[in-house]
Structure 1
Amino acid sequence: MTGQLTFPRQYARTQRFSLGAPRAFTVSPDGSRVVFLRSRTGVDRANVLWVLDPDTGKEHPAADPAVLLGGADEELSAEERARRERIREGAGGVVAYAVDSAVELAAFTLSGRLFIAELRGGTARELVVPGPVADPRPSPDGRRIAYVAGGALRVVEADGGGDRALAGPEGATVTWGLAEFIAAEEMHRTRGFWWAPDGRSLLVARVDDAPVRRWWIADPANPDRQPAEVAYPAAGTPNALVTLSLLGLDGSRTDVEWDRERFPYLAQAHWSEGHPPLLLVQARDQRGQAYLTVDTATGETRVLHTEEDANWLDLFPGVPAWTPDGRLVRISDEGGVRALAVGDRTLTGPRLHVRAVLDVGAEDLLVSASAGPGAKDPETGESHVYRVGENGAERVSEGRGWHSAVRSGAVTVLVSTSLEHSGATVRVVRDGVRTATVTSHAEAPVLASRARLTEAGARRIPCAVLLPTGYSEGDGPLPVLMDPYGGPHGPRVVAAHNSHLTSQWFADQGFAVVVADGRGTPHRSPAWEKAVRDDFAGVTLDDQVEAVRALAEDHPLDLGRVAIRGWSYGGYLAALAVLRRPDVFHAGIAGAPVTDWRLYDTHYTERYLGDPAERPAVYARNSLVTDEGLGEAAEQTRPLMIVHGLADDNVVAAHTLRLSSALLAAGRPHEVLPLSGVTHMTPQEQVAENLLLLQVDFLKRSLGM
């Protein structure tokens, strides 16, 4: 290795250029503080908790891990590592924090220990409590901290006294105050308790995973180590039992009752000032859900609103919620788009496809949305911030790009990316006027992505096309590398420079790279997303084929040399492509692929394919390990590399092993690259770097370059 910094090395050491970038913003209600996380350099993993004055732009560290730990390295429990895997967190230091209602006190963990920081210029200090500590959260008045340790929900005074357990522990299978695996992995509910607005009680989830079947994740490179036991709810098997209780600081307990037989999933909970707790519960098949209010005196629930869908109902960030005057805020499928509904009124129409609710104010709501079918311009790959009120929607973000925001009162933090510039720009705005910019310490990439966003084929499939730096028309057609995710929840065609850096690096190795967001990917329309019902294999693969063939009409694509690579769902799609359409795809790299959907989790898989016991033919049709999955053209085999982390507890290595066995039995040549000690995230620097280099070598060999 030479002394010159290469893109694979930089991409790995900066954790995809995320280190040093500010994130996790909170704005105080009085508009005097913006709190956020950021490491000190673009290669420093340890996040520091910062406070910024929105009017002067001055910032100071509120909690520095190097100081609080005395320079010692972090020590993470197995539970904390698993929690970070669920939220795809690869950084260190302060990776998450929670605040009181005035944003004057923050609570967080370091090495499983509990710390608090005074955000008005005070100090940070440790509270000595039983550990390892998970998910500490201050009460709204800042007088106490609730946290989870040893499966128990505990509370300690902010001065460090009075520590006690409010519930638990109850044994190895029961936890109080934590989100179960399926909620954290698929519902994006990462918490399991909520403070009452008056700080006198908490709404707490009790999880019993005794019914969940046990899997064992072994480390074959270290046979002396005992395999890790994982409670994994695979499709068609039992989920954890989740209930709720209201726990008073006085020791009282009131169990919350709802129809758990009909709605076993606790999808979300919300509790805000002046209103009762609000729950969103779902049916197991996710075709029905109910919004419930909770009587805090009796624990009884009342149905506020119900929804049904012939395919499934999606969950969205920021909802459900209450408006200050007590109306339900939700996002629903209406008029061919995702619409914002408040009370009995729908506030957005066909021009907006709402993705998330960012803030609920007294006069309006702040939302994230993309252009709907009724918009004047398609805005391929863009997402904007809108202020929505009774009289319509007004765009807040400016310029082509991918935008989000955090708001409280008059102060808004706008986070914006574009195709033209690396990283994100973070602007602090008060009453519509920019007052400060939050500095990023993220490294500038050693290459620039030159993605061209377009639409392809009769279906107008959103695509990004990347050609080698310096390419000219006289250079002729190029071998093609399809680089999709291609499945639910994972948009790749976005107006953000850094999102296309890896694709550009592959392009600079001599490929025309195509990223296609076919049916099933989000943010276009409910019908677009739900087209994959019962048919991952047909719909998502067909759209990749349509995209590459349509783009070849006006781009320099050599359709005689087409490869495909992907990770997770993209890995499934890559393997699917070379096995079932060898007439189109000539080589594939399948990273951590789901090969047998019976081995993937309940909430995700059953949403799209149903119960495997009731629909075995659907699972067989979408599997890669059945005769149908392997494809019929055994005489036309294509090179396939399968890559898998052996420590992956999300898409377990059994997926790759079963596919390899099926391929071997069918006489289909392939390569398997096992990654010892690697999870679904592949965070290790050397592994991430060399994995890119090995992929290029495989692709060039396979395509005769």
Structure 2
Amino acid sequence: MNLKYALAIIGFLTTSLIYCQNKQITLEEIWSGTFRTEGMQALHSMKNGKQYSILNFDRQTRNSTIDIYDYKTLQKEITLVSSEEIEDIEGFFDYTFSEDESKVILTTNEVPVFRRSRLGEYYVYDINDKSLIKVSEELVQEPTLSPDASKIAYGYKNNLYVKDLVTGKVEQITFDGEKNKIINGITDWVYEEEFSFVRAFDWNKDSNQIAFIRFDETNVPEFSMDVYGSDLYQTQQVFKYPKAGETNSIVSLHLYDLNTKKLSEIKVDKSYNDFYIPRIQWTNDTNVLSAQYMNRHQNELDLWMINTSSNVSKLVLAEKDKAYIDVTFDLTFLKDNSFIWTSEKDGFNHIYHYSREGELINQVTNGNWEVTNYYGYNDKANTIYFQSTENGSINRDVYSIKLNGKNKKRLTKTTGSNSASFSADFTYFINTHSSAITPPEYTLNSAKSGEVVKSIKDNDKLAQKIGDYKTSKKEFSTINVNGNDLNMWMIKPADFDETKTYPLFMYQYSGPGSQSVANRWNGTNDYWYQMLAQEGYIVVCVDGRGTGFKGAEFKKVTQNELGKYEVEDQIATAKKLGELPYIDESRIGIWGWSYGGFMSSNALFKGNDVFNMAIAVAPVTSWRFYDTIYTERYMTTPQENPSGYDENSPINHVDKLKGDFLLIHGTGDDNVHVQNTMRMVEALIQADKQFEWMIYPDKNHGIYGGNTRLHLYKKMTNFIHETLGDKRETRVEKEQESSNIKG
């Protein structure tokens, strides 16, 4: 760490003691990017293991470049691609190399569809002859180069196409695709959202077969959203959305052979009813495809190996869990087609090594901590690299370990959040480190020892800038609630005086497997919390039961009863904190977004003797309104578990409202539909409960665009001041005053 940077950090740590640093954070600064961090965009390790590439953009010339850097010197060696030298495009904002790095896909324009899906304009640039080929005149999805870089496959209007980059010929390989009926090779809405992927097709090793998942969503119920726009009449967005207990897409696995031009369905040697195929991936054998099948309850996961030349399938791994199984991207095939797999089967997420036949060779990692990322396997050193919580559940470190489970080594030395990007030959890794007191810094590290070779980039200018503001340290601790030690952070005003009392404002998310209490650098909300702290509030966040990285038992205790134990923990936490001499127990509020909005609503209603106010943004108000995959993973279906759905949904507890309530939603939310808020509003009205609410026209689940975020946070800040501030007037007082006037 250089002296300049160290001084900046010291300045940040001692902010609350230096009264000359009294500049106040404003909402305008938070949402204008004043506190934005610098990073390394689109980092890619080159196959030679000696170089890496970065996407750079010159704001003045509007020129995009893919620049190659040397790992050892960190010096730029060459500009591989420059939009300035390509006549047909003005610039690009993303890139993807072919497997052999002879070609690169340049992204020049993209239009969002849903959270992860995009329609885009793409070009293939040949590194050797500097030629440029437009993938399609239409906006397409998920363009993917074949391993030999001779072809590119993509989705268009629910069908799959392959373009020969030598001849320019385009071959359509499916023909039955139709909106809201059949999708080939691209996931439907619920798979995209809950299984976290869009491209549902994959090239085999020899570039002559494409396996893909077909979705028949004909019988999936439709959901429609009004799009108000600026025209005289509104339009509608209509899409298939399976709510809990309703019909899912019928999925099937298919294969297209580019040599024979034959399209066929792949079937495994087991009869499944109402199932998912959350992952497909070719092995190193050109004719062997792996496919993961999962039952609708998501507590059984089967890994199949399918020989596409003989049509023989073999079940090599079958996992079961009393609650549910999380699907990951951690399946990795080694040269002999043995494979690396992660599982929670011993109570914590760990790495396992299996033979190609599915026989357990050994459990590679073990202990009362979680593997949180698998980075890769170095076959020359017989070493696996991974990230874990061994140094505390709020921290992340990078480790190496031999394939046989021996010689585990912590490679990162600084406490906080560490993540790695390894060179292709595993000589180096670029480590990204941050903590609550250290903004992101990027260093080149030795993969063998973990020692820092060189500093690449830091955010010392940001650290110095923050030193000019009145800020407070984020204090990490645990709080014992309902028999569990829960992770907690607290931010107090910089001029905190323990002889005074302060209102308490709590934030949480609390969704299954989530984490909000983590030792990492500020997100945008953290600056908002700092602003509130300097305006006289104590801000707290606690991860209760059901959250992640403390073992399967802690996480899965909420099974079949989402919103019960999590809410009990937030209420008990508020009660316990309210007993502190410097917290005003008559002024306690809570807020959250999405699952957090579901939680804050429940906390205010069920904990009406503790919480005086709540803000709920884009909340689920009844799990009956949410999608199949997410909801049923934790709740089974409403037909099987009606009490679990209804007893813990805030819409059924509106009669308990006593405090102040602000409800916020975007009408264009394709994820948590505004239906949730509309039904909550009607329930509140019929229960004769006064509340505040705000609707953002055509805004999605993120509620952003133009001035939207600033407006939203002004709205919430004003509500906090009105309900928790020194001059607050509670809802009960307002209703009593109104009643007296009428009397």
TM-score (normalizing by structure 2): 0.83
1:414/1:429 contact within 8 Å kept: no
Residues in 2 aligned to 1:505 and 1:516: alpha-carbon distance in whole angstroms: 19
Deviation of 1:280 after TM superposition, in Å, equals 1.7
Residues in 2 aligned to 1:357 and 1:440: alpha-carbon distance in whole angstroms: 25
Residues in 1 aligned to 2:475 and 2:429: alpha-carbon distance in whole angstroms: 31
Deviation of 1:144 after TM superposition, in Å, equals 1.9
**Is structure 2 residue 280 aligned with structure 1 residue 256?**
no
**Is structure 2 residue 610 aligned with structure 1 residue 584?**
yes
- The one-letter amino acid paired with 1:348 is T
- The one-letter amino acid paired with 2:227 is D
- Counterpart position of 1:87: none
1:107/1:145 contact within 8 Å kept: no
2:441/2:459 contact within 8 Å kept: no
- Counterpart position of 1:370: 389
Q: Quick one: percent identity of the two aligned structures?
A: 20
Deviation of 1:107 after TM superposition, in Å, equals 1.7
Q: How does 1:338-349 map to 2 (within 5 A)?
A: 338-343=349-354, 344=360, 345-349=362-366
Say which SS state the counterpart of residue 515 (structure 1) adopts: strand
State which of 489, 513, 517 in structure 2 corresponds to 1:493: 517
Residues in 1 aligned to 2:167 and 2:131: alpha-carbon distance in whole angstroms: 13
- The one-letter amino acid paired with 2:567 is L
State which of 654, 663, 674 in structure 2 corresponds to 1:630: 654
Q: Flag the 1:682–1:36 CA change in 2: closer, same or farther, 3 A.
A: farther
**Is structure 2 residue 155 aligned with structure 1 residue 148?**
yes
- The one-letter amino acid paired with 2:492 is L
- The one-letter amino acid paired with 1:385 is V
- The one-letter amino acid paired with 1:692 is Y
Q: How does 1:71-150 map to 2 (within 5 A)?
A: 94=93, 97-111=95-109, 112-118=120-126, 123=130, 125-150=132-157
- Counterpart position of 2:292: 280
Deviations 1:328-365 (A, max 9, x none): 32212243311211111111111431123222332122
State which of 4, 16, 30 in structure 2 corresponds to 1:11: 30
Q: Flag the 1:310–1:334 CA change in 2: closer, same or farther, 3 A.
A: closer
State which of 471, 482, 487 in structure 2 corresponds to 1:462: 487
Q: Flag the 1:47–1:232 CA change in 2: closer, same or farther, 3 A.
A: farther
- Counterpart position of 1:246: 255
Deviation of 1:167 after TM superposition, in Å, equals 2.3
Deviations 1:280-313 (A, max 9, x none): 2211001111011111214442100101111111
2:443/2:452 contact within 8 Å kept: no
Deviation of 1:434 after TM superposition, in Å, equals 4.6
- Counterpart position of 2:641: 615
Say which SS state the counterpart of residue 218 (structure 1) adopts: strand
Q: How does 1:296-311 map to 2 (within 5 A)?
A: 296-311=308-323
Q: Flag the 1:63–1:534 CA change in 2: closer, same or farther, 3 A.
A: farther
Residues in 2 aligned to 1:698 and 1:528: alpha-carbon distance in whole angstroms: 34
Q: Flag the 1:130–1:303 CA change in 2: closer, same or farther, 3 A.
A: farther
Structure index of larger Rg:
2
- Counterpart position of 2:396: 383
1:193/1:205 contact within 8 Å kept: yes
Q: How does 1:320-335 map to 2 (within 5 A)?
A: 320-335=331-346
1:21/1:38 contact within 8 Å kept: no
Say which SS state the counterpart of residue 563 (structure 2) adopts: helix
Deviation of 1:150 after TM superposition, in Å, equals 2.2
- The one-letter amino acid paired with 1:462 is N
- Counterpart position of 2:473: 450
**Is structure 2 residue 425 aligned with structure 1 residue 409?**
yes
Q: Flag the 1:385–1:156 CA change in 2: closer, same or farther, 3 A.
A: same
Residues in 1 aligned to 2:204 and 2:680: alpha-carbon distance in whole angstroms: 50
- Counterpart position of 1:271: 282
How many pairs were matched up?
A: 666
Deviation of 1:369 after TM superposition, in Å, equals 1.4
1:639/1:670 contact within 8 Å kept: yes
- Counterpart position of 1:34: 52
Q: Flag the 1:656–1:37 CA change in 2: closer, same or farther, 3 A.
A: farther
Unaligned runs of 5+ in 1: 74-92, 372-376
Q: Flag the 1:38–1:538 CA change in 2: closer, same or farther, 3 A.
A: farther
Deviations 1:39-68 (A, max 9, x none): 657x99998655433233234665667987
Unaligned runs of 5+ in 2: 1-22, 110-119, 355-359, 727-743
Deviation of 1:220 after TM superposition, in Å, equals 4.2
Deviation of 1:520 after TM superposition, in Å, equals 1.2
Deviation of 1:224 after TM superposition, in Å, equals 1.0
1:17/1:442 contact within 8 Å kept: no
Say which SS state the counterpart of residue 699 (structure 2) adopts: coil
Deviation of 1:443 after TM superposition, in Å, equals 8.3
- The one-letter amino acid paired with 2:592 is G
State which of 596, 613, 628 in structure 2 corresponds to 1:570: 596
Say which SS state the counterpart of residue 689 (structure 1) adopts: helix
1:423/1:497 contact within 8 Å kept: yes
- The one-letter amino acid paired with 2:306 is V
State which of 678, 683, 691 in structure 2 corresponds to 1:657: 678
2:498/2:582 contact within 8 Å kept: no
2:393/2:550 contact within 8 Å kept: no
Residues in 1 aligned to 2:581 and 2:73: alpha-carbon distance in whole angstroms: 49
- The one-letter amino acid paired with 1:304 is V
1:132/1:150 contact within 8 Å kept: no
Say which SS state the counterpart of residue 167 (structure 1) adopts: coil
- Counterpart position of 1:228: 237
Q: How does 1:161-240 map to 2 (within 5 A)?
A: 161-172=168-179, 173-220=181-228, 222=230, 224-240=233-249
Deviation of 1:69 after TM superposition, in Å, equals 9.3
Q: Flag the 1:260–1:267 CA change in 2: closer, same or farther, 3 A.
A: farther
Deviation of 1:400 after TM superposition, in Å, equals 0.9
- Counterpart position of 1:319: 330
- Counterpart position of 1:418: 435
Residues in 2 aligned to 1:560 and 1:213: alpha-carbon distance in whole angstroms: 46
Deviation of 1:253 after TM superposition, in Å, equals 2.4
- Counterpart position of 1:83: none
- The one-letter amino acid paired with 1:236 is G
1:428/1:436 contact within 8 Å kept: yes
- Counterpart position of 1:76: none
Deviations 1:536-565 (A, max 9, x none): 222111111233344456684322211111
- Counterpart position of 2:20: none
Residues in 2 aligned to 1:442 and 1:300: alpha-carbon distance in whole angstroms: 58
Deviation of 1:531 after TM superposition, in Å, equals 1.0
1:329/1:342 contact within 8 Å kept: yes
- Counterpart position of 1:354: 371
State which of 408, 427, 444 in structure 2 corresponds to 1:427: 444
- The one-letter amino acid paired with 2:184 is W
Q: Flag the 1:68–1:267 CA change in 2: closer, same or farther, 3 A.
A: farther
Say which SS state the counterpart of residue 688 (structure 2) adopts: coil
Say which SS state the counterpart of residue 473 (structure 1) adopts: coil
TM-score (normalizing by structure 1): 0.87
Residues in 1 aligned to 2:271 and 2:544: alpha-carbon distance in whole angstroms: 36
- The one-letter amino acid paired with 1:638 is G
2:25/2:527 contact within 8 Å kept: no
Deviations 1:475-494 (A, max 9, x none): 62311110111112431111
Say which SS state the counterpart of residue 490 (structure 1) adopts: coil
Say which SS state the counterpart of residue 481 (structure 1) adopts: strand
Say which SS state the counterpart of residue 423 (structure 1) adopts: strand
2:284/2:333 contact within 8 Å kept: no
1:518/1:540 contact within 8 Å kept: yes
Which deviates the most, 283-292 or 343-352?
Answer: 343-352
2:283/2:337 contact within 8 Å kept: no
Say which SS state the counterpart of residue 698 (structure 1) adopts: helix
